[in-house]
Chain A
Amino acid sequence: MIKVVVLCFFVFILYSLGSAGYYMMKDPSGSRRMLKALTMRIGASILLFMFLMFSYWMGWIQPDGAL
């Protein structure tokens, strides 16, 4: 279950980063779409790391990766 959550987070992070790259190619510098996508990217990454730390603290995951 935790693996699925981590995977969903990671796919979303890749999507945000990819869309930021796409907006960087397509939009002029005045557009904020790239920055908004990058903000989503960093926000999701911080949430994922907090989720991992919480799971470790709760004992749902082990240091060696056992689930």
Chain B
Amino acid sequence: MQSKDQYYVPEGSYWPIVGSVGMAAMLGGFASSLHGGIMGTGIMILGLVIILFMVFGWMGQVVHESESGLYNKQVDKSFRIGMAWFIFSEVMFFAAFFGALFYAREFSVPWLAGEGNNMWTGKLLWPEFKAVWPLIEMPKPEAFVVPKAVIHAWEIPALNTMLLLASGATLTWAHWALYNGKRDQIIYGLMATIALGVLFLGLQVAEYAEGYGHLDLKMTSGIYGSTFYMLTGFHGLHVTLGTIMLICILMRVIRGHFDADNHFGFEAVAWYWHFVDVVWLGLFIYVYWFV
């Protein structure tokens, strides 16, 4: 390892190779399981375990190096640039899914009902079809699982919005405490944020059980069902990852890591959580409330 004042060159590391083996095993196992391979699921799980081992090992090493005082400003900048690319990929990820929903809702579904210059599409193909969102009455219902209803915005989704907004507030409270040197307040704020995140996920599971079990709202329920589960499902995955990251940050705060001038890990996770919160607000307004 280089000294603190020199250009930083990291030591050789075996973690990238471990990660590559893990990813190859996980994806290869997944592909094999799709083709009915006997060992597929087992190899996939083994790959996942290897990836988790890599993440904990690699991140643990980074944390250890950071706490040993080995990192200088140049390393700090490299973490920030890495985070910028990660943010860019996340924004594009959700933009694609929101874009798919927007296109279906504002363009393709109305076209099937004859809007714009598609009068004959409506008259010849689907004369009885009227474009109403959410798309419960479909142009060709026999091809889909037709839902009885959709999840209403002012039930679980509104409650979940309150929970996530509250979690954003508790996280901001913890963030201010970090600047003011109040370690107890950081810990309580992070604990509250994690608890609210877990509660959110529990209610999301209850909502999916209602959708799948009682409303027949499934991924096979046409464009509404598929975009609904794609957007809310990937958002839920992000809340899960964010909760895990917050737990890691909480553990580090309890161990005495971070101070007012050095806490990029905290900042990055906090920004990620705020981002996931804003995505949910967009979902609440555009997916659940149909504005």
Q: Which residues of A contact B (CB under 8 A)?
A: 3, 6, 10, 13-14, 17, 20-21, 24-25, 28-30, 32, 34-35, 38-39, 41-42, 45-46, 48-49, 52-53, 56, 61, 63-65, 67
Nearest A residue to B158 by beta-carbon distance?
A53
Q: List 18 A-B contacts (CB under 8 A).
A: A10-B281, A17-B274, A17-B275, A24-B80, A29-B261, A29-B263, A35-B172, A35-B175, A35-B176, A38-B172, A39-B172, A39-B176, A42-B169, A42-B277, A45-B278, A46-B169, A49-B165, A65-B153
A-B contact count (CB 8 A): 89
Interchain CA distance A20-B267 in the complex, whole Å: 10
Instruction: Check B270–A38 contact: CB distance below 8 A.
Output: yes
Partner among B87, B274, B275, B290 whose Cβ is within 8 Å of the Cβ of A65:
B290
B73-93: which have CB < 8 Å to A?
A: 73, 76, 80-81, 83-84, 87
Q: Is the CB of A13 within 8 A of B81?
A: no
Instruction: Tell me the nearest residue of chain B to A2, going by C-beta.
Output: B291
Contacts of B57 in A (CB 8 A): none
Residues of B within 8 A of A48 (CB): 281
> How far is A32 from B175 in the complex, measured between Cα atoms in Å?
10
The main secondary structure of chain A at its interface with chain B is helix
B152 lies within 8 A of chain A by Cβ: yes
Note all chain B residues with C-beta closer than 8 A to A49: 161-162, 165, 281
Are A25 and B84 in contact (CB-based, < 8 A)? yes
How far, in whole Å, are A15 and B194 apart by their CA atoms in the complex?
26
